[in-house]
Amino acid sequence: MSSLLAWFFAHPLSAAFLLLILFAVILFLLAFWQGRAISFWPPRLGERPLPRPASPGQNVMEAIRTRKSVRLFLDREVEQEKLDRVLEAARLAPSASNRQEWRFVIVRRPETRRLLAGIAASQSHVYNAPVVIVACAETDEYVMQCGQFCYLIDVAIALDHLNLEAVELGLGACWIGAFDAIKVRQLLGIPDEIRVVELMVLGYPANTTPVEKTRLRLDEIVRYEHW
């Protein structure tokens, strides 16, 4: 030990370089072990572990943490059983006065998906996803006492249920809000009285790498008792 210390004192620059390398190795090992992001300056591990890739049977909070917008899909069909499960999750969602105004058109044919992509700002993932879910509402445009149309909120809740169940099943999804609702209605033969609310693409993600979510802190978005 004394000879090692003597060498360190005799070669300060080399010793500092070795310590820096050792520190970097330890930092990388800790990051790998805990799945955390690395901040190189100041050198530290991220505040929270990165979310792990989705795995079947995970709980709700794990699905929330691992959910991400998927825009690149494997060339693999979604099994009917899994499609039925995500749609069942949407069916079980709550709605105002239990009105259940949501309606879904499932698009799988490549040619129809290609036409939908053209209507949806030419977004390639609308075509490349094996499934496009067109979320609609059969509604009398009931307005809740808070002043909001219930169908917009209820369809969003149903789609979020669907999205989280997709994560649990190893699937990925992405909300699509850039589209021409009138042209979607014409393409799919949707009656005029049905509102087209949102599209959602669904399939097996080509990249299962977790992403670190950038979100505001709780103390920035939460107030207790009054604003």
For residue 203, the 8-state DSSP code is: E
What is the predicted pLDDT for the residue at 207?
94
Range in 6-15, 75-84, 130-139 with the lowest mean pLDDT: 6-15
DSSP secondary structure, 147-198, as one string: S-BHHHHHHHHHHHHHHHHHHHTT-EEEEE--S-HHHHHHHHT--TTEEEEE
What is the predicted pLDDT for the residue at 12?
73
Same domain, 45 and 64: no
Closest by CA to 193, choosing from 132, 141, 135, 133, is 141
Q: How confident is the model at residue 7 (pLDDT cuts 50, 70, 90)?
A: low
What is the mean predicted confidence (pLDDT) over 182-210? 97
End-to-end CA, the chain: 62
Which of the listed ranges 18-22, 36-40, 214-218 does the model predict with the highest average pLDDT?
214-218
Same domain, 152 and 94: yes
Same domain, 81 and 193: yes
Say what percent of the chain tops pLDDT 90.
71
Closest by CA to 53, choosing from 74, 35, 76, is 35
- Cα 192 from Cα 141, distance rounded (Å): 14
- Cα 100 from Cα 144, distance rounded (Å): 14
128 vs 53, 87, 113, 114, 204, CA distance in Å?
A: 22, 20, 8, 8, 11
What is the mean predicted confidence (pLDDT) over 129-150? 97
Q: Is residue 220 part of a domain?
A: no
> What would the two tokens of residue 150 be?
């219930």
Same domain, 117 and 198: yes
Q: How confident is the prediction for the chain on average, in pLDDT?
A: 87
Q: Is residue 136 part of a domain?
A: yes
- Cα 85 from Cα 58, distance rounded (Å): 15
Task: Return phi, psi of residue 22, to 5°.
Answer: -60, -40
Q: Is residue 210 part of a domain?
A: no
Count of CB atoms situated within 10 Å of the CB of 197 = 22
What is the mean predicted confidence (pLDDT) over 193-209? 97
Q: Is residue 208 part of a domain?
A: no
Domain range for 42? 2-50
Count of CB atoms situated within 10 Å of the CB of 216 = 8
Q: Is residue 222 part of a domain?
A: no
**pLDDT tens-digit series, residues 57-92:** 568 899 999 999 999 999 999 999 999 999 999 999
What is the mean predicted confidence (pLDDT) over 28-54? 53
Same domain, 111 and 29: no
What is the predicted pLDDT for the residue at 10?
74
Burial class (CB in 10 A: 0-12, 13-18, 19+), 218: exposed
Give the pTM.
0.75
What is the predicted pLDDT for the residue at 187?
98
Closest by CA to 205, choosing from 97, 78, 58, is 78
Same domain, 97 and 115: yes
Same domain, 42 and 77: no
CATH number at residue 110: 3.40.109.10
